[in-house]
């Protein structure tokens, strides 16, 4: 349950359109709902600003579908990441409105009305091989009410491509930069902008990339000051970091006299 839904419920009790018993019934599963195989955290959106996200690896298709269904019953938007086709099919059978984003390996359900975005995010991909991570970040940003767009194939092997795209990047509030191989792109971007830069190393690369470890260490050792680095292939984590930054700015703006 998100803060907006909770406020709406409390307001409906205040004006008399919802009875106390009905409200208590809806709040029964706060702060969590115990399933036979999981404890679904329905309180996370109130604490952290975004609901619990379902990480699908290691779960059976039916377990993933059961958790997704429980999240959907609680209201609000639902996001599952790293879902296989079998898991996505099971989720969609139990929650018909769910949508499978195959390239992003994500499943989503939109239940909240559209609202003005918290801010804009540009997601830069060094190469097309980074697409699964880029698309995971894009879907996650969309679910977090961030206006995100992707710019592909602007890696350091041809810096003229980045320069040509810069006019569509410079107005973004946050830049997510995704790169494998040697992971150099975030350093270049970090030296060109005063906006927050979130670097995402990917496992794309030949043997000495060590499954993304080379890119991760390069990004951690960047000479561009203030670049934030998330874990290997963690497009979702990058979107979360962008969301926290932009929610904090929104709250500060709302609190200003």
Residues of the chain with pLDDT under 70: 1-7, 9, 23-49, 253-257
Verify that 48 and 134 share a domain, yes or no. no
81 and 126 in one domain? no
What is the model's pLDDT at position 73?
84
**CA distance to 93, 173, 186, 207, 212, per residue, from 149 (Å):** 30, 12, 17, 31, 24
Measured CA to CA, the distance from residue 201 to residue 180 in angstroms comes to 6
Q: What is the pLDDT of residue 46?
A: 62
pLDDT in tens, 198-213: 999 999 999 999 999 9
**What's the pTM?**
0.81
Assess whether 29 and 82 both reside in one domain: yes
pLDDT at 26: 63
Is there a single domain that holds both residue 171 and residue 76?
no
pLDDT of res. 18: 81
Of 82, 109, 136, the residue at which a domain comes to its end is: 109
Q: At a CB cut-off of 8 Å and minimum separation 6, what does 241 contact?
A: 198, 228, 230
Residue 162 included in any domain: yes
Judge if 97 and 171 occupy the same domain.
no
* 144 and 224 share one domain: yes
Number of domains making up the chain: 2
User: Is 254 part of any domain?
Assistant: no
Task: Compute CA distances 8 → 11, 12, 28, 141, whole Å.
Answer: 5, 6, 16, 24
User: Has residue 200 been placed in a domain?
Assistant: yes
Boundary of a domain, candidates 60, 75, 109: 109
Residue 209: the pLDDT is: 92
Q: How far is CA 104 from CA 38, 115, 122, 189, 225, in A?
A: 24, 23, 16, 24, 30
Q: Domain check: are 104 and 208 in the same one?
A: no
User: What pLDDT is attached to residue 171?
Assistant: 87
- Claim to verify: residue 218 and residue 130 sit in the same structural domain: yes
- Residue 257 inside a domain? The answer is no
pLDDT at residue 248, as a whole number: 84
How far apart, in whole angstroms, are the C-alpha atoms of residue 182 and residue 109? Answer: 36
Q: Residue 115: inside a domain, yes or no?
A: no
Query: Which of 51, 74, 109 is the last residue in one of the domains?
Result: 109
Contacts 24+ apart (CB under 8 A), 41-44: 42/1, 42/71, 42/74, 43/1
**Please, what's the b/e burial string for 143-153 (b: 16 or more CB within 10 A of its CB; e: otherwise)?**
bbbbbbebbbb
207 to 125, 201, 202, 203: CA distances (angstroms): 21, 15, 13, 10
Q: Do residues 133 and 224 share a domain?
A: yes
Is 169 found in the same domain as 84?
A: no
> What pLDDT score does 254 carry?
61
Residue 77 lies in a domain: yes
Q: Looking at the domain assignment, is residue 255 inside a domain?
A: no
75 with 142, same domain?
Answer: no
**Residue-number span of the structural domain to which 12 is assigned:** 3-109
Do both 14 and 38 map to the same domain?
A: yes
Other beta carbons less than 10 A from residue 92's beta carbon = 17
pLDDT of amino acid 48: 60
The residue written with tokens 């979702």 in the block is 236
* Pairing of β 78-81 and β 32-34: unpaired
Residue 193 · residue 171 · CB < 8 Å:
no
Q: Are 62 and 90 in contact, with CB atoms under 8 Å apart? A: yes
- Is 256 part of a structural domain of the chain? no
CATH of the domain at 192: 3.40.50.1970
CB 254 within 8 A of CB 124: no
Question: Residue 170 corresponds to which tokens in the numbers above?
Answer: 């410079």
């Amino acid at each position: 349950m998100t803060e907006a839904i909770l406020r709406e419920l409390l307001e409906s009790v205040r004006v008399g359109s919802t009875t106390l018993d009905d409200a208590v019934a809806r709040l029964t599963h706060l702060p969590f709902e115990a399933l036979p195989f999981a404890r679904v955290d329905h309180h996370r959106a109130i604490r952290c600003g975004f609901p619990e996200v379902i990480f699908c690896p290691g779960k059976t298709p039916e377990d993933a579908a059961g958790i997704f269904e429980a999240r959907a019953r609680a209201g609000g938007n639902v996001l599952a990441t790293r879902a296989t086709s079998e898991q996505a099919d099971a989720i969609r059978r139990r929650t018909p409105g769910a949508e499978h984003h195959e390239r992003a390996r994500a499943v989503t359900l939109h239940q909240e009305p559209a609202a003005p975005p918290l801010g804009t995010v540009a997601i830069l991909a060094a190469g097309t091989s980074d697409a699964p991570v880029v698309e995971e970040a894009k879907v996650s940003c969309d679910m977090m009410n961030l206006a995100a767009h992707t710019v592909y194939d602007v890696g350091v092997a041809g810096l003229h491509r980045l320069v040509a795209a810069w006019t569509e990047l410079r107005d973004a509030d946050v830049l997510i930069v995704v790169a494998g191989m040697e992971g150099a792109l975030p350093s270049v971007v970090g030296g060109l902008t005063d906006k927050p830069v979130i670097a995402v190393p990917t496992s794309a690369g030949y043997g000495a990339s060590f499954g993304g470890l080379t890119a991760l260490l390069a990004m951690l050792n960047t000479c561009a000051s203030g670049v934030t680095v998330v874990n290997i292939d963690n497009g979702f984590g990058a979107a979360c970091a962008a969301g926290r930054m932009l929610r904090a700015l929104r709250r500060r703006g709302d609190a200003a006299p």
